[in-house]
Structure 1
Amino acid sequence: MSIINDLRASRELLYNLTMREVKGKYKRTALGQLWSLANPLALMLVYSFVFAFIIRVQPDPGDPSGMNIFALWLMCGLLPWAFFSNVVNGGMSALVGNENLIKKVYFPRSALLVSNSLSWLYSWSIEMAVLAVAIALLGGMPYLYIIPTILLMALLTLFATGAAMIMAIANVHFRDTQYLVGILFQIWFYANPIVYPAAMVAKVSDSLGSFHGITVLSAYRLNPFYHFIEAFRNLLYDNRLPDASTCAIVLVLSLGVFLIGWRVFDRYQPRLAEVL
C-alpha cells in the first residue's frame, strides 16, 4: 500500500496540486469556474438538435419519474462520460507534462494523478449539482437519491483514476498512447448509450438473433461504461435505485480497475525519473 501511505504522508502537497489544477484551468478568465458548464451545455445543445430533432431519437420516459425531456436524459450520460474522459486524458499528460519536476525533486508521483482526478471531480460536482437542480425544477426527484449518486460518483472516480494510472505509465514508455487513446475514446463514445437509448440496440439484437448463443446486446453490455451510464440514469432521470446486478458490476469494475491501476503505477513509479 505504498501509494496510499505516500499520499497520506503528503496530504498538503496533494491539496496544493489539486488547487493548482482547479485554479489553473480558468486562470484570468472573467467567468472562472462557470466555464466548466460551457462545454457540456454546448454539447447538450448540439446533440439535442441532431439526435432529438433531426434523427429523432426517442428514449423511453423515466420509470417511475415519467420524465420525457431528451436534454436531461442526455446529460445524465454525457456528464459522467466527460468526467471519465477528462480524467484519463489529463492523467496521461500529468507525468510527461511534469517531467522537469519529477527529475528534480522526489515526491509521490501518484499525487499528480490523484490531484488531476480531484480537480476534475470538483468541476464535475458543480455540473452534476446544476443537472440535479434542473431535473428537480422540471418535476423529477433526484434529491431523494443524493447519497447513492455521491457514492456512484466516488466509484466512477476510482474507476477513472485507475484507468488514468495505467494510461499514464503507458504514455511514459510509448508516447503514441495519448493519440491512440484519443481515437479510442471517439469510437467508445458512440459505443455507449449516451446519445441513443440501449433499447435501440436491443431491437437490433432481437432482429439479428444470436450467434452461438451470443447476441449483439449481450456483447454490447460487455462495455464497462454502459453500466455506469445506466446507474446514473436510474438515479437521476428514472428516480429509482439501479438493479442489484448493475450495482455489483459497477462496484467490481471500480475497485478492480483502481487496484490494477494502483499496482501497475506502484511497480513503475520508482523508475519514472529515469524513463522520462
Structure 2
Amino acid sequence: MALVWVLAKREISAEYKGTALGRLWSLINPLATIAVYAAVFGVIFRGGVEPGINSHVQSFALYIGIGVLCWGYLSRVILNGMNAFMSNAGLLTKVYFPRYVLILASTLAQTFNFLFELLALLIVCALVGGPLVFLYVPFLVPVLIITAAFGTGLALMLGIATVYFRDISHLWEIFTQVWMYASGVVFPLSMLVAAQDSLYEKGISFKGQPLPLDIIFRINPAELLLEAYRAVFYDFTAPPLEVWLGSIAWTLVNLLFGILIYRKFQARIVEEI
C-alpha cells in the first residue's frame, strides 16, 4: 500500500509541475468548463431539462456541466489506468513489484485531483440552488468509491489488453467518444424519450412498440454513475435505489473480470512490453 501512495504522489506532483498557479488549476479548470458549457448550452443551444427535485434549479448548462466533469473523471481513471503499464515500462523492467499497483496509484491520483473539481462544483451548485446541497454531500463518498472501483476494474482489463494488443488504445479513443454520448453526458433522458416517440410516429418501431432506447440507455453503467452525481448536485437528493443497485452490480462484475484477467496474463507483462 505504501508503494501505491508513493506512485500516486509522484503522479499528483507531476500534474501541474512547472505551472505558476499549481494546484489552483484543479479549481480553475472545472469552473472554466462549467462556464463554457453555460455559454454554449445555456445561451446558444438551449435545451430542455426538468427542474431539480429539491433544488428546483432548472439549468441545462449546470446539468451538462455536472455530466462533463464527472464523465471526465471516470474517463481519466480508465484511460490513465489502461496506459499505466506501457507508461511505466522502464520501471517495470528494472524493479519487481505487484503490477496492479500502477493502476491503483493512477486511480488514486485521479481521485485526488477530482476532489478539487467536486469542491468547485459544490460551490457552484450551492450558489445556484442554495445550501441544501451540503446535506447530501455524504452520498458522494460511496458514489466516488463505486466510480473509482468501476474504472479500476475496466482499467485492469484494458491495461492487460493494451500490453498484448497495442491497437486497443486507439480503438478505445473511438469507443469512448461514442460511449460519452450514449451515457447522457450532454442531454437528459427526457430528450431521448422524445426522440424515441418521434421515431415511433414516423413508423420506426420494434415489434410494434417504440424503440427501447430509454431502457438501453438506463442499463449503461456510466449513465447510472452520472445519474448518481446529478442526484446530489442537481436534484439535491439521494441517488435512487435502482441507481445504487445497478452501479454496484456493474462495479462488482467489472472488478471480478478485471482481477481474473489480470491474474491470468500479468506474469508476461514485462516480456510483452
TM-score clears 0.5: yes
Partner of 2:154: 163
Query: Are the equivalent residues in 1 in contact too, given 2:37–2:65 (CA < 8 A)?
Result: no
Partner of 1:30: 20
1:1-276 equivalences in 2 (<5 Å): 11-140=1-130, 141-209=132-200, 210-212=205-207, 215-276=212-273
Query: Are the equivalent residues in 2 in contact too, given 1:52–1:58 (CA < 8 A)?
Result: no
Deviations 1:209-259 (A, max 9, x none): 441355222222232211111111112210112221111101111222122
Deviation at 1:92, TM superposition (A): 2.0
Deviations 1:105-153 (A, max 9, x none): 2101111000000000001011102211221233332211122111101
**C-alpha distance in structure 2 between counterparts of 1:80 and 1:134, whole Å:** 15
Deviation at 1:207, TM superposition (A): 3.0
**C-alpha distance in structure 2 between counterparts of 1:188 and 1:38, whole Å:** 26
Q: After the TM superposition, which of the residue ranges 264-273 and 112-121 deviates more from structure 2?
A: 264-273
Query: Are the equivalent residues in 1 in contact too, given 2:157–2:262 (CA < 8 A)?
Result: yes
**C-alpha distance in structure 2 between counterparts of 1:36 and 1:266, whole Å:** 35
- The unaligned stretches of length 5 or more in structure 2 are none
Runs of 4+ in 1 over 4 A off after TM superposition: none
| Counterparts in 2 of 1:188 and 1:38: CA distance versus 1, 3 Å | farther
Query: Are the equivalent residues in 2 in contact too, given 1:47–1:195 (CA < 8 A)?
Result: no
**C-alpha distance in structure 1 between counterparts of 2:137 and 2:111, whole Å:** 16
The residue identity in structure 1 corresponding to 2:39 is F
**C-alpha distance in structure 2 between counterparts of 1:199 and 1:123, whole Å:** 32
The residue identity in structure 2 corresponding to 1:211 is F
TM-score by length of 2: 0.91
Deviation at 1:178, TM superposition (A): 1.0
TM-score by length of 1: 0.90
Deviation at 1:167, TM superposition (A): 0.9
The residue identity in structure 1 corresponding to 2:206 is F
- The unaligned stretches of length 5 or more in structure 1 are 1-10
Query: Are the equivalent residues in 1 in contact too, given 2:54–2:236 (CA < 8 A)?
Result: yes
The residue identity in structure 1 corresponding to 2:112 is Y
